[in-house]
Structure 1
Amino acid sequence: MRILKCGLCMIYFCFFSLPAWGAETLTMREAVEIGLKSNPSVLAAREALMASDYAVKSAKAAFGPSFSTQYGYTRLDERPRSFGVNAGTLDNWELAFNVHQPLFTGFNLLTTHERAILEKEQVASQIDNVELRLIVTIQDTFLRLLQARENVRSAEDSLVRLRSQLKVNTAFYEVGLRPKLDMLQAQVDVATAEQLLLTAENNEATLIAQLNTLLGKSVEADVSYVGELRYFPMPLTLEECLERAGRHRPDLRIARQAVMLAEKDKVLAAVPYYPQVAADFNYIRQGEDPLVHGGDYHTPSQWNAQVGMKWTFFEWGKTYYGEKQAEKNVSRLGQEYLNLENDASFEVKKSFLQIQAAEKRISAARQGLIAAKESYRMAVARYEAQVGTNTDVLDAQSKQTVSEASLHEALSDYERSVAELYGAMGQRNPELLAQ
């Protein structure tokens, strides 16, 4: 019988533990790593990198010779004659092979290949930028979730306190020590706290679904995100942050590469100034039948080789104005790069100031919470001793709840500002550790 009971207990334990075992538990670092592997925007950027690699190979292949063939049939309306004698046939078949080798293209092939390499490097930088933005977004959502979870706990604690106060009020009313108004006020505050708890729980569930989406998972995925809001000092100075941003931000690298691509486009715009030189080898077979075996009026086979030049030296300023357009585009992108540099510096300074402000708020919020808890304790004690009012208790309870929310918000804002600062510097920091 004892063995049977133990077996039933094990079955019961396993059955009710399956949902917990099935839930995936992720820290912030693990969430970031999964997001970088599975987020569709990152996967799309990597596909673009593969496409740009093929573009480089295609541009490189253009340096080599090209091979082509042509096969055709011509039917004449009447047989060719010369001085009353037949000079040809009605049916004419021709098979031709051509090998074409560019020799000089006005730097077109070389510049196109260099441009393809730059485009590949730019796509690689875009992947870095997409991944960096994704890391910051995941961290921001993760920290909002931790804040929402703390708000749920605070709302639950508030509800417990209010329900306890309601019981006290009800007991005092029933023995005639307090008016009915105190009990009704406590009931209203309990109902309000229940609504606030539902709102906090809904916000937590929404953020979990958002995180699941960022990680490339289903919104209904059973994932438990674990962590806690914490404070840690920021070791970097503003000057160090600005210097790191100039070296590491991928969007600045992308902008520099855009200027370099525009310079290559300027070279391509000047290609028509130069002659185009190429070599060709042709092999031709002719005949009166589809097998092109030759005939009385057809040469069975022949070949020729040639080197030629083509130069369009005047187009009414088309090339000149095209080059000027490309030159202005280089200047425009250069100015946009300078503007992006200024924006990057502003983002760093903004995040740095937000960190300093949140740091001061954390200190003030902690002191405020200590005072609010003591105030609530004293208000309850005074009410139970019949020397305080119900309004004092409810007011002190509300202030404690607000103080808890303020501390959670300050801690969340601090860590989110740190995440934004590292993003503004172009550095990855999956765990938000001091670097």
Structure 2
Amino acid sequence: MKIWKCSLCLIVFCLFSFSAWGAETLTMREAVEIGLKSNPSILAAREALSASDYAVKSAKAAFGPALSTQYGYTRLDERPQSLGFTAGALDNWELVFNVHQPLFTGFNLLTTHEKTILQKEQAASQIDNVELQLIVAIQDTFLRLLQARENVRSAEDSLVRLRSQLKVSTAFYEVGLRPKLDMLQAEVDVANAEQLMLSAKNNEATLNAQLNTLLGKSVEADVEYAGELRYFPMPLTLEECLARAGQHRPDLRIARQSVMLAEKDKVLAAVPYYPQVGADFNYVRAGEDPLVHGGDYHTPSQWNAQVGMKWTFFEWGKTYYGEKQAEKNVSRLGQEYLNLENDAAFEVKKSFLQIETAEKRISAARQGLIAAKESYRMAVARYEAQVGTNTDVLDAQAKQTLSEASLHEALSDYERSVAELYGAMGQRNPELLAQ
């Protein structure tokens, strides 16, 4: 019997232990780190970088010689004749090995190689850009989740206060000190508070699932995100933020690289202006049988080497107009880059102003919450002393709940604006610490 009891206790202990170990707890920094490792969009960008690396190697290999072979069979309808004598065979087999080395391609190979290097650098910048956007998205959702969690707590506290008021109103009604209307109003407010609490919990669960998705996890993953809304001063000035954005934003770097790539395309468009020069070495075997062993009319093997040039010097303006098109594309991308710079500056200024506004809202919301709590305390005391009304209590309770929600929203908006500002500056700040 004792053995069974010990076994049962051990099983219960293991079940509780496994349930405790199963829930993963993550801070904001840990969530960002996991997202950067597991999010599919990041993995896709890294695959693009790997592909661009192979493109660079492929373009570099084009500088070397190319080896090719050709094998064929020709059957004539009659033997070749020369001066009344047979000069050839009916069956002719030929095997050719060719080595071609480009000597000058009008800067085609060099420019293509340089272009692939730029494309690889741009792919790396794309990874930085995607990672930066993911960090901001994770931080934004994380802070919204913390806000939703605080709203749930506020809704639960509000429900507790309303239920307490319902008990007081019911007790006063039963002894004839208050009309039934007070009790009914309290019941309505309790029912509304229960609905608000359910809505707040649903919003919390939705944000939790969204955050799981950003981290590359299942929406049903059991993850506890640890943290709290807080205020910390922003040490940077607007001028410093704008300067950092110009230096660090990956999308600006990508735009600059796009302009450089367009300039390479312009060089490639002018390639037909130049001659194409190459050297060839050919080794030839021929014969009357498939093994090309030669014959009466075939030399078993021979080789030749040559240097040649090909130059298409007139195509009715095709090359000229192609070059002009590439030139306009360079100009277009240059203008788009300037526009992107303006947009970046606007994003920095917008986030900076949102931080200043949220900072003022936090101060006002804290003062308002202190006043709302005191107002509710006084309203309850007056009601219990039979000098106040039930409406006063319910109004004061609603204002306290609203004040709590306003403070949570202001704190969340402040931290989210800070996250957006660092994103607009092109800087990573997983923990939202002063940098």
1:171 shift after superposition? 1.0
Alignment TM-score, normalising by the size of structure 1? 0.98
Q: Which amino acid aligns with 1:70?
A: Q
1:82 shift after superposition? 2.2
Secondary structure of 1:283's aligned partner: strand
Q: Matched residues in 1 for 2:13 and 2:179: separation?
A: 50
Secondary structure of 1:334's aligned partner: helix
Secondary structure of 1:224's aligned partner: strand
In the TM superposition, 1:202-241 aligns within 5 A as 202-241=202-241
Moved more, 83-92 or 273-282: 83-92
Q: Over residues 230-286 of structure 1, what are the superposed CA-to-partner deviations in whole Å (9 max), with x where a residue is unaligned? A: 000000000000000000000000000000000001100110010100000000000
Q: Is residue 185 from structure 1 mapped to residue 158 from structure 2 by the alignment?
A: no
In the TM superposition, 1:29-44 aligns within 5 A as 29-44=29-44
1:84 shift after superposition? 2.8
Aligned to 2:50: 50
In the TM superposition, 1:391-430 aligns within 5 A as 391-430=391-430
Q: Matched residues in 2 for 1:3 and 1:298: separation?
A: 98
Secondary structure of 2:313's aligned partner: coil
1:83 shift after superposition? 2.9
Secondary structure of 1:285's aligned partner: strand
1:11 shift after superposition? 4.3
Aligned to 1:19: 19
1:14 shift after superposition? 3.6
1:81 shift after superposition? 2.0
1:2 shift after superposition? 9.3
Identity, in percent, stands at 90
Secondary structure of 2:93's aligned partner: strand
Secondary structure of 1:93's aligned partner: strand
Q: Which amino acid aligns with 1:52?
A: S
Q: Matched residues in 1 for 2:122 and 2:21: separation?
A: 44
Secondary structure of 2:137's aligned partner: helix
Q: Which amino acid aligns with 1:26?
A: L
Q: Over residues 188-226 of structure 1, what are the superposed CA-to-partner deviations in whole Å (9 max), with x where a residue is unaligned? A: 101000000010000000001000000000000010000
Aligned to 1:124: 124
Aligned to 1:147: 147
Unpaired runs of 5+ in structure 1?
Answer: none
Secondary structure of 1:113's aligned partner: helix
1:21 shift after superposition? 1.9
Query: Cα gap change, 1:428/1:279 in structure 2, threshold over 3 Å: closer, same or farther?
Result: same
In the TM superposition, 1:187-202 aligns within 5 A as 187-202=187-202
Q: Is residue 372 from structure 1 mapped to residue 381 from structure 2 by the alignment?
A: no
Secondary structure of 2:109's aligned partner: helix
Aligned to 2:297: 297
1:15 shift after superposition? 2.3
Q: Matched residues in 1 for 2:11 and 2:73: separation?
A: 84
Aligned to 1:252: 252
Aligned to 1:28: 28
Aligned to 1:354: 354
In the TM superposition, 1:105-116 aligns within 5 A as 105-116=105-116
Q: Is residue 262 from structure 1 mapped to residue 259 from structure 2 by the alignment?
A: no
Instruction: State the Cα RMSD in Å.
Output: 1.3
Unpaired runs of 5+ in structure 2?
Answer: none
Aligned residues: 435
Q: Is residue 309 from structure 1 mapped to residue 309 from structure 2 by the alignment?
A: yes
Alignment TM-score, normalising by the size of structure 2? 0.98
Q: Over residues 332-371 of structure 1, what are the superposed CA-to-partner deviations in whole Å (9 max), with x where a residue is unaligned? A: 1111000000000000000000000000000000000000
